[in-house]
């Protein structure tokens, strides 16, 4: 039976596709990405690591091969570093008119995140629109008419997918970091759009898909490209595209391979050690995780992709007879490829989880016209209740921190912020109160007006999560910055080196983590040598090892400096002078 002859599970009337004001989408998107992006230190670990490679590319002209000081950062890929370093070169002189050089460079490095975020939303919106206006996706015709026009129906589902992206809990923090995460999300969105575009314009779509494939290889290596390869392979053996359309995949492969080889060949000629290390990182990243870690990843995915995953599963069930239809096949194969990649990557975490964000949001949007009205109303109430409680919790914690009540909450918070001197910013408090008033107005509008448009519940979820994030940024950013920043430790170490060592004296490290190495490089340009005869050693260890006297170099070392983040209860740094 032809897909068009089957009974569609979507049932909808024209009022349900009423247009969501574009200004509302723009306001939600702008507030979402700008809150928490600036006016803070870079945080451990990915945020600092990505920023360190960008600064080294800008300061040391280390463009071809990302590095952190003398350390070859042979992981992921160079594309995030290139874009960030270019942004620093262009924008940091302008920002430097208003702040110090380092702060200007950090702010400039974060500017591409705005581009990545809106590319993510653009690709999801337009890709969903292309799929949703196709005849296979249309709702059931009504006996006396009144069903929505395909254009209005497609726009409504595209708006819903847009809002599902913003409502996804797991991406809200990493999308504000200078890591590969936001760029990988944007490239996955473009890959989805490119394949959807191939249904109407094969050449144009294949070019976009090829650029997304090449970009994914240069952003997160073979791991980032695997779900796209899987989606293309499924398309080649399916009937979604015609044989003639499938020929356009040749352009995709040529573009993807061309982008990758244009970097890899010069990189191999410049430093075989770096490229062999990069290839080893790719190969070693694949492997079956232990059952315990795999189930932990599944548990993490449940919160990371909330609230999209329940709706995505509903879409797959309600549209189960339509797996060959593009609006289910394309996001479905992308989701399956992403899930298989997570299963095949050892120690999968946020960059791998990000791969599910786009297809789950699209599938979740496809479920909305198949749901009963009472389920949609339940979703609205759930959004109002959970997000309102989240905002109350943010305020309650802030009150406990600044006023000491409730006492138990104050105790739990101050344990994580040892040494922190909380100060109240009147402007931040006024802005936070304004955010709460806006949320109350929106929830009140929903309960009072009871609109028929199907985006009504998702606008609450997206706006509510954005308001919660705004509250955290306004009320808690100084405390979070204190808890996660290495700036003070780096400055203390730099002062100790100025006191105890001559300029140009070498220093090596022992046990230093990637994030800590990056922090010292970013804040005070501290570089470590691999020379084993160097007498200065920075040791990262734990207080337990120090108390048990199980540290290395204890027989012939003198402690010149000892430091740690005041909020850290275990981690400690020791600057040692070996020998005489």
Q: Which domains does the chain have, with CATH numbers?
A: 20-37+111-313+323-366 (no CATH), 373-484 (no CATH), 487-578 (3.40.190)
Percent of the chain whose pLDDT exceeds 90:
56
Angle CA(446)–CA(9)–CA(22) in degrees, nearest 5? 40
* pLDDT of the residue at 271: 92
Determine the pLDDT at residue 376. Answer: 72
Q: 87-99, pLDDT tens digit by residue?
A: 999 999 999 999 9
Give me the mean pLDDT over the 321-327 stretch: 92
DSSP per residue, 89-126: HHHHHHHTTTS-HHHHHHHHHHHHHHHHHHHHHHHHHH
**So what's the pLDDT on residue 448?**
80
Mean pLDDT computed over 388-395:
93
Q: Label each residue of 256-317 as H, E or C.
A: HHHHHHHHHHHHHHHCHHHHHHHHHHHHHHECCCCHHHHHHHHHHHHHHCCCHHHHHHHHHH
What pLDDT, on a 0 to 100 scale, did the predictor assign at position 67? 93
Lowest-pLDDT range, 165-169, 372-376, 384-388? Answer: 372-376
Q: What is the DSSP letter of 137?
A: G
CA distance 518 to 41: 13
pLDDT at site 170: 92
Taking each continuous run of H as one helix and of E as one strand, the counts in the chain are: 23, 6
Strands 67-68 and 71-72: antiparallel
At residue 145, the pLDDT reads 62
When the pLDDT of each residue in the chain is averaged and rounded to a whole number, the result is: 89
Please count the other Cβ atoms lying within 10 Å of the Cβ belonging to residue 212.
29
How many C-beta atoms surround the C-beta of residue 309 within 10 A? Answer: 19
- Rounded mean pLDDT of 26-51? 91
Q: What band does 144 get if pLDDT is binned at 50, 70 and 90? A: low
pLDDT at position 47 over 70? yes
Q: Higher-confidence residue: 94 or 376? A: 94
Whether the pLDDT of residue 286 is over 60: the answer is yes
The pLDDT of 65-74, averaged and rounded, is 91
In eight-state DSSP terms, residue 528 is -
Three-class SS state of 474: helix
Q: Which residue has the higher pLDDT, 267 or 21?
A: 267
Kindly indicate the confidence band of residue 580, based on its pLDDT and cuts at 50, 70 and 90: low
pLDDT digits (tens, 9 = 90+) for 527-545: 998 888 888 999 888 877 7
The predicted pLDDT at position 451 comes to 73
User: Is the pLDDT assigned to residue 4 strictly greater than 60?
Assistant: no
Please report which helix (H) or strand (E) contains residue 451, including its range.
none
Give residue 428's pLDDT band: very low, low, confident or very high (50, 70, 90): very high
Q: How many whole angstroms separate alpha carbon 523 and alpha carbon 521?
A: 6
Give mean pLDDT, residues 456-469. Answer: 87
- pLDDT score at 185: 96
At 227 the three-state DSSP class reads helix
**What confidence category does residue 146 fall into, taking pLDDT thresholds of 50, 70 and 90?**
low
- Among 373, 384, 370, smallest CA distance to 448 is for 384
Q: Which contiguous run of DSSP H or E holds residue 509?
A: strand 508-510
- Residue 260 φ/ψ region, left for φ over 0, alpha for ψ in the -120 to 50 degree band, beta for the rest: alpha
CA atoms within 13 A on the CB side of 427: 0
- Do the Cβ atoms of 77 and 93 come closer than 8 Å? no
What integer is the mean pLDDT of 542-552?
Answer: 72
What is the spatial order of strands in the sheet that 536-542 belongs to? Answer: 508-510, 536-542, 571-578, 557-563
Token pair in block for residue 73:
């950062």
Q: For 15-27, what is each residue's pLDDT tens digit?
A: 777 888 888 889 9
* pLDDT value at 471 more than 90: yes
Q: Is the dihedral of CA 253, 75, 262, 86 positive or negative?
A: positive
In this prediction, residue 6 has a pLDDT band, given cuts at 50, 70 and 90, of: low
Lowest mean pLDDT among 110-124, 364-378, 414-428: 364-378
What is the reported pLDDT for 188?
96
**Whether pLDDT at 337 is above 60:** yes
**SS3 (DSSP) at 539:** strand
Residues 6+ apart with CB under 8 A from 287: 344, 345, 346
Going along 85-223, which residue ranges are E strands?
Answer: none
Contacts 24+ apart (CB under 8 A), 418-422: 418/566, 418/567, 418/569, 419/566, 419/567, 420/479, 420/482, 420/483, 420/566, 420/567, 422/478, 422/479
For 338-366, write each residue's pLDDT tens digit: 999 998 888 888 889 999 999 999 999 99
Q: For the chain, how far is it from start to end, CA to CA, in angstroms?
A: 86
pTM of the model: 0.93
Tokens of 40: 């803070």
531 or 145, greater pLDDT: 531
Taking residues 403-421, report their average pLDDT.
86
Question: Distance between CA 199 and CA 194 in Å, rounded?
Answer: 9
Q: What band does 206 get if pLDDT is binned at 50, 70 and 90?
A: very high
Concatenate the DSSP letters of all residues of 360-414 into one string: HHHHHHHHGGGS-HHHHHHHHHHHHHHHHHHHHHHHHHHHHHHH--SHHHHHHHH
Residue 3 has pLDDT above 60, yes or no: no
Residue 415 — pLDDT band, cuts 50, 70, 90? Answer: confident
Tell whether the model's pLDDT for residue 450 goes beyond 60.
yes
pLDDT band for position 259 (cuts 50, 70, 90): very high
């Amino acid at each position: 039976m032809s897909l068009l002859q089957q009974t569609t599970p979507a049932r909808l009337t024209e009022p349900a596709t009423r247009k969501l004001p574009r200004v509302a989408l723009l306001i939600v998107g702008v507030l979402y990405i700008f809150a928490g992006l600036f006016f803070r230190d870079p945080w451990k670990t990915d945020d600092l690591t990505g920023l360190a490679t960008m600064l080294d590319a800008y300061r040391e002209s280390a463009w071809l091969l990302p590095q952190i000081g003398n350390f070859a950062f042979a992981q992921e890929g160079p594309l995030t570093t290139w874009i960030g370093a270019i942004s620093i070169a262009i924008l940091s002189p302008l920002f430097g008119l208003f702040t110090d050089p380092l702060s200007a460079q950090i702010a400039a490095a974060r500017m591409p995140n705005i581009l990545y975020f809106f590319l993510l939303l653009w690709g999801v919106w337009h890709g969903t629109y292309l799929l949703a206006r196709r005849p296979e996706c249309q709702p059931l015709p009504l006996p006396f008419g009144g069903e929505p026009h395909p254009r209005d129906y497609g726009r409504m589902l595209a708006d819903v997918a847009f809002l599902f992206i913003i409502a996804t809990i797991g991406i809200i923090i990493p999308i504000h970091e200078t890591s590969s995460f936001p760029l990988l999300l944007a490239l996955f969105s473009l890959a989805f759009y490119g394949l959807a575009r191939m249904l109407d314009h094969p050449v144009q779509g294949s070019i976009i898909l090829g650029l997304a494939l090449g970009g994914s290889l240069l952003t997160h290596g073979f791991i980032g490209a695997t779900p796209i390869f899987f989606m293309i392979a499924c398309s080649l053996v399916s009937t979604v595209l015609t044989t003639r359309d499938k020929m356009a995949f040749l352009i995709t492969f040529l573009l993807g391979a061309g982008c990758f080889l244009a970097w890899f060949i010069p990189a191999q000629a410049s430093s075989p050690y770096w490229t062999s290390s990069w290839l080893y990182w790719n190969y070693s990243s694949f492997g079956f995780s232990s059952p315990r870690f795999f189930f932990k990843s599944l548990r993490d995915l449940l919160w990371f992709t909330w609230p999209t995953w329940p709706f995505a599963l509903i879409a797959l069930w309600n549209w189960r007879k339509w797996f060959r239809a593009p609006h289910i096949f394309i996001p479905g194969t992308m989701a399956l490829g992403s899930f298989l990649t997570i299963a095949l990557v050892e120690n999968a975490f946020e960059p791998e989880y990000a791969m599910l964000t786009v297809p789950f949001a699209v599938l979740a949007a496809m479920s909305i016209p198949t749901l009963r009205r009472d389920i949609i109303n339940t979703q609205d109430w759930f959004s109002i209740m959970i997000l309102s409680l989240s905002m109350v919790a943010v305020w309650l914690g802030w009150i406990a921190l600044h006023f000491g009540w409730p006492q138990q909450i104050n105790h739990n918070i101050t344990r994580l912020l040892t040494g922190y001197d909380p100060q109240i910013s009147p402007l931040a408090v006024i802005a936070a109160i304004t955010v709460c008033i806006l949320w109350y107005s929106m929830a009140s509008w929903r309960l009072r007006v009871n609109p028929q448009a199907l985006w009504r519940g998702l606008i609450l979820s997206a706006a509510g999560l954005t308001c919660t994030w705004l509250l955290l940024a306004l009320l808690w950013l100084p405390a979070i910055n204190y808890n996660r920043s290495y700036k003070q430790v780096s400055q203390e170490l730099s002062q100790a080196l100025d006191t105890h060592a001559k300029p140009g004296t070498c220093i090596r490290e022992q046990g230093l983590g990637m994030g800590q190495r990056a922090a010292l490089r970013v804040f005070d340009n501290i570089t470590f040598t691999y020379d084993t005869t160097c007498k200065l050693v920075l040791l990262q260890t734990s207080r337990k090892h120090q108390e048990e006297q199980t540290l290395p170099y204890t027989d012939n070392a003198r402690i010149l400096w000892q430091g740690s983040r005041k909020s850290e209860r275990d981690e400690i740094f020791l600057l040692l002078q070996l020998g005489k």
